[in-house]
Amino acid sequence: MFTDNSVLGNYMDSKKTILSQKDLALLEAVVLRHGKTASLEQIQEAIGENIPRGAVRKRVAQMSKAGWLIRLKKGLYLVVTDISTLGNADVSELVIAQSLNADSYISFESALQYYGMFDQMLSRIDSVTTKATRKYKVLQTTYSFSQIKQELYFGFTEVVINNQKVKMADKEKTILDMLYFRTTRYSVSMVLEKLIAYRDQFDFGKAKSYCAKYSLGMLRKMGFLFDQAGVDTTDILSPEQTKRNSYNKLTQQTDKFNAKWRLYYDSNLTR
């Protein structure tokens, strides 16, 4: 887990970074008990419950200054266990996102990348939560949490990354989140692109059951995109819903109207 003392000593001498044997043992204990992210209370537990709170904070501050602890948010730290990455996160950004907000799941491009459907470098990790919308900046990465209604907080499973559990949106919920939170041409184009390029990897029965939990507007949008991707949509919209006089927009830029879905859309997005 940690490098042997001789290498560690040489590295610390070169970097003017002091980490005592006692601190090394402490960090190892924290990682063994709690993984690479730990709260101040968990660090206190590893140090010893009888140690004054002020002394614990001082010790944590010293290790943070040396780069062995990275503050994620108030009272939460990332333990750096690889000296070659001192001052940088040597743990998955997805684990960090989950640690920042336990009541959240990874979605959007971050989830697509996990499933091998997105290969561009990400500078932001996006998650969905029932808590207030919020952003954190840790090192060079932004962690964004978008608030969703409780009844739409579903469609995710737990996966194990770096020996820690992370809630990950299903592929089907990921595209719904992208369409629900974003109405840009870029997002809609990406959803359609993924539906077509990875059609054999989506469970469209599951996707349709998820759609039924959303508003009529979302049903219209997904139905339209399913049509464009060649997916059967006869079981999505009921005759009563198609007769409604209301309409929706797929994006802000529209120049055509689809009568089946009563949806205005950008013709540049269709094939």
66 and 135 assigned to the same domain: no
Check which CATH number belongs to the domain holding 20 and give it.
1.10.10.10
Same domain for 99 and 152?
yes
CA distances from 260 to 224, 233, 246, 263 (A): 8, 11, 12, 8
Domain extent at residue 190 = 182-269
- Residue 98 and residue 165 in one domain: yes
Asked if the structure places residue 203 within a domain, the reply is yes
Judge whether 9 lies within some domain: yes
- Domain-located, residue 148: yes
H-type alpha helices, the chain: 5-15, 21-34, 40-47, 53-66, 93-100, 108-114, 171-181, 185-197, 204-211, 216-228, 239-242
**Co-location of 21 and 52 in the same domain:** yes
Answer whether residue 177 is part of any domain.
no
Q: What angle do CA 114, 117, 120 make, to 5 degrees?
A: 85
Residue 30 pLDDT exceeds 80: yes
Q: How far apart are CA 127 and CA 101, in angstroms?
A: 9
Question: Quick one: pLDDT at residue 56?
Answer: 84
**Whether 90 contacts 70, CB under 8 Å:** no
Q: Count CB-CB contacts under 10 A for residue 208.
A: 19
Same-domain pairing of 247 and 195: yes
Same domain, 25 and 52: yes
Q: Please state whether beta strands 263-265 and 248-249 pair in parallel, antiparallel, or not at all (unpaired).
A: parallel
Looking at residue 82, its pLDDT comes to 63
Compute the C-alpha angle 97/42/135, nearest 5°: 25
Q: 176 in a domain, yes or no? A: no
Torsion of CA 83, 74, 106, 157, to 10 degrees: 90
User: Does 188 lie in the same domain as 265?
Assistant: yes
pLDDT one-digit tens code per residue, 186-214: 999 999 999 999 999 999 999 999 999 99
- Classify 179 as helix, strand or coil: helix
- CA distances 128 to 87, 106, 224, Å, are 28, 7, 24
Alpha carbon distance, N-terminus to C-terminus of the chain: 52
pLDDT tens readout for residues 71-120 = 888 888 888 876 544 444 567 899 999 999 999 999 999 999 999 999 99
Tally of structural domains, the chain: 3
Q: What is the DSSP string of 10-71?
A: HHHHHHT----HHHHHHHHHHHHHH-SEEEHHHHHHHH-TTS-HHHHHHHHHHHHHHTSEEE
Please say which residue of 32, 52, 85 terminates a domain.
85
Which tens digits make up the pLDDT trace of 37-82? 888 888 888 887 777 888 888 888 888 887 788 888 888 888 887 6
Domain co-membership, 67 together with 17: yes
Residue 261 is given by DSSP the state T
Q: Of 69, 85, 101, at which residue does a domain stop?
A: 85
Domain boundary at 85, 106, 141, which? 85
As a whole number of angstroms, the distance between CA 116 and CA 110 comes to 10
Question: 109 CB contacts (<8 Å, ≥6 apart)?
Answer: 118, 120, 122, 126, 190
Cα(174)–Cα(53) distance, integer angstroms: 42
Q: What is the pLDDT of residue 16?
A: 42
- Say yes or no: 156 and 201 in one domain: no
User: Do residues 213 and 157 both lie within one domain?
Assistant: no
Token digits of residue 93: 């950004």
**Per-residue confidence band for 238, with pLDDT thresholds at 50, 70 and 90:** low
pLDDT digits (tens, 9 = 90+) for 155-186: 999 999 988 899 999 999 999 999 999 989 99
pLDDT score recorded for residue 21: 79
